[in-house]
Each structure stands twice: as structure tokens, then as C-alpha cells.
Structure 1
């Protein structure tokens, strides 16, 4: 006889509750110190929770939290990426002009190719080179989550997520300091930030100190990079190794990518009121935050430290490539 309480005994509840708690901590940290992007804090807190020194209890803790954390890292990531599309209107893209859009596409292509070559040259294992290239060229941890879903390589995602989070966090301090030497005006500095920094939250944190003009330019350029998530993920799906999806060929276009494209189209129509867009933004932040807690929980810090030499070298070199390409694009950008 059914008790009607089966959902209460779901093995995912402990992980869901921990993810929600850590998400709340990350939200609070960002509210207290706006320079700390919430999504970055989610990855860090998830990694710390997943590597608590609990001695003999470590195994039981990970078994208890694992199902909910894994669900968060996968399912919430897909929903968050769909809602991410509501941030982008094709009218914003049109405002950059064809040359501006082509320059940004060039930055994405160059960043992807350069990062991929560096990661492979430094012998990062498995699908990590592709995932790292996706994160650095498009939109950080969110893009890594999308690509790992499309290629069936979620097990390779945690270290690229940690590396892209590290470099994106460093950018918040390094790019404004570099501009003291470069002397870019607010418009060009914003474009550079949008073309070079990984996560959307990190872009905002990096550009906002230079004023409203820099912030607006950074967000528009960044969102054009986010738009590239759909075609790059499609290419990733087509090039996925056979057997990556348990012997099944994944859909040509993953369902969540179709949802992402439809969300962009819906935003472009202009029919959604501002209150709905704001609610969608909050929901997107919460879903991606919970997903990144889950991905962070899967990071093995000991493994990360053991491979720190190669992996960190690849990430820092790739960051330099992306920043250089972004700066070159700014120099060519029509005013």
C-alpha cells in the first residue's frame, strides 16, 4: 500500500538541501561584497563542501549528498541555460553592426582554437581540452556544463570549471589594473571586458567599476559571445566520440539548446514585460547557482592539485590568448 510519502524519501533530498543552503550563502556573500560574483562563489563553496576532511565519514557523506548534487549539476544546468537566453535580444546584437559581430565571432573562434591547442599540447586528459576551450571562449562554467551535456562528458567537467572560475575571478582585479597602463576609454574597456572575461557575472563585476558606459558595452559584447553557445554546442554534439552517450548518438541539437534559442527569440519579440524578464533572470541565477554548486561538489581538489602544473599552465596561457584577442578586437572595433 502506498503511503503517499515516497517523494519525501527521495535519495536526492540531502544533496538538494545542501545545494540550496550553499546557494544561499553564495547569494549572501555577493550581496555583502558585490565584487564577488555569485556563480563563482557557488563553485568554490561546492568544491569546499565536496572536499570536507571528514575522515571515516567522508564516504558516507558523499554517498548521501551525491545524488542530489549530481541532479543539480545536470538538470538545473539545462534549465538555467534555457533561461539564460532571455538575457539576449537580437536587437542588441544588431546594434553592434556586422563588423562588430564578426569581430566577436572571430574572438570566440580564436579563443576556442587557441585554448584547445594549448590544453592538448599540455596533455589535459579526456574531454577536458574541449570543455576548457568552450568555457574560455563563450561563457565560463555555464558553457562547460552545456558542452559536457552535449558530448556526454560530465565526468571531465569539474576541473575545467575550477580553472575557468579561477581565471575569471582573477580577471576582476587584473583587467582594471592593466587598464591603468593601457588607458582605454570606458567604451573600449567595456568591450575588452566583454570579449575577454568568462562568466557573465564576472564580466559585470569587472566592468562596473569603470562606469555605466563600460558596463553596458561589456554586457552587450558578452551576450553576443553567449549567443555562440548554440552553434558551438551543436558542433560539439556532432564531434562527440562514439560511445560517449552509452552507445547512443545524442540528438543533433540538444533540447536545452533549442530552448535557449527559443528564449532568445521570445526576448527579441519584446512582448515580455520587464517584470517577467527580471523574474527569469533571478530564476536563471538560482538554477545556474545550484548547478554550479553541484559541479563544484564533484571537484576532487587533491586531483586538481596533483595536475595543477599542466592544467593551471594551460588555463593561464589560454586566458592570455583570450585577453590578447579581445584587445585586438577592440582596436579594430568601429566607433
Structure 2
């Protein structure tokens, strides 16, 4: 009963339309009714009236939940306003529309640029796991940055698709509050905005032991996700459809035996999970990987230097080694 009551309360808090005072009244009314039901159950009197009404409310809220539908058409925030589109892909050459390349001076002051880019997947040379912490050590945003032979980097990031003026809520993510979107962006945009503008703490780890075919497979998996979200909107879910679980699901397509682990949910420890799987730089203890992989200070020092991607990688274990082809 407690779990059910809390779930309904969350649904009311995040989905009930109208001003805040209406939500407050609804939550107070629901809390009082749930308490009365609990007392009646304790006295073995729930069958008289509160029990059936409580169950009916659960059914109604369940129907309401099922009828909620995601949308592609809202007044979106600038940084998620466009959907990533796969314009053309012949198995090697890919053309992407709406690659993000903003210049950020502050959260509210930025130059908006969505660009068309072409990549040759035979020129893939590396993949890096990027972890960005904004609310302590337990939770981090997970990104994957692909490196090409010409020095370019392309970062994929699954994010909530915020409406203008909206902010992220981990609790709201449990109640279909947000749609999700896949962003492809330059590191000078998506990494720098986190380290230099939002003040997040950012770490970078080189993914090792991947052949060219495996790199291509992971990249192509992101293309599939982009096509899926372009064709139909989907809800973000804090537990099952977030920035970390998408990396796991895509990686499973090239390595089906990947084990489930609590660190897929406690995303701040995802890099340790990757280390235990043997996909980070070998023969280096995790404490060293993390200390030398912390790019926050280097990113802030690099500023708007065009060598940003090279500068933030200085000293990161495994970066100077010859990439596997």
C-alpha cells in the first residue's frame, strides 16, 4: 500500500496539469485518503469503503499512466530542439543532420548551430567513455566519444528532451515527465558545456580491446537509436531508459554476454564496471585511471582552444598507445 500510495503521489506531482496549488491540494487529499485507508486496513475495516475506493483509484491512475504519450512537438530548449537524423548510410559512409556545435558562454548565452556532417566509419580509431558528475559520486551522465583518423571527435549522449524553462528531475524521470533524445555533438560543445559552464566534474577513459569492426558496430548501434527516436518519440526513464542503460544495451549488440550489474543503475560507478569487464586500459589500477582521467581542470584551462580534444586527453592512460585497428 505504501508503494502504491507513493506511486500515485508521484504521478499527481509530475503529471497533474494546472498551477502548483492545485497539485498541492490534490496531494494533501490523496495523502489523507491513503492514510485513512491504511488505518482501516489495520483495523480490518477496509472492505467497508476505503479499500475498494483505493483500488479503484489505483486502476484509474494506471489507465491514466498508460494513456500518457510522448511527443515530438513541444517548445523545446535550444540544446535539444532538433532531432538527430541519419540522412544516408551505406555501411561505411554516414551523413548526419543536426550534429550540435554550440558555443557556450553561459547556460542562457550561447550560439546555436546544428550542422550536417559526414563520417567514414573505416576511419574510426577510438572510443572514449566520458563520465560527468553533477550531484555527488553516485550519479553521473554517461557519454561515448568516437575518434577518427583525421582528429575529429563525435560524441553521442542520450538526454532528456527538456522543454524551454524545464529542468531535469530524477524523480520526474520515473513518471513519464520527459521525452528522451539522442544528441550527437562536438566535444567543444557537449563536454565543454558540462565542465566549463555547468561546473560539473568530468572524467574520460579510453575504451580498449575493440577492433575496428566492434567500433563500427557500436557506432552503428547509435545510428539505429537515432533512427528509432527520429521515427517515434519515447519517454525517458530514470531506471530503465537513461544515459547509462543505453550504452549497456548498445554494447550488448556487439558483446551479448555482458552481465547485469547494480552499477548500471548507480551510474556514478559505471566506469568501475567497465574496468571490471576489462574494456579500460589494462595493467593500470582504477584509482590511477580515475585520477589521470579527470579532465575537468584541463578542460577549463583549454577554454575555447581549437585543440580542446587533444588538450583534455593529455596524460589519460592508454591515449598515447597505438589504437587497435
- TM-score band w.r.t. shorter chain: under 0.3
- Would you tell me which structure has more helix in proportion to its own residues? 1
Higher relative contact order (CA 8 A, sep 6+): 1
Structure with bigger strand share is: 2
- The structure number with the bigger radius of gyration is 2
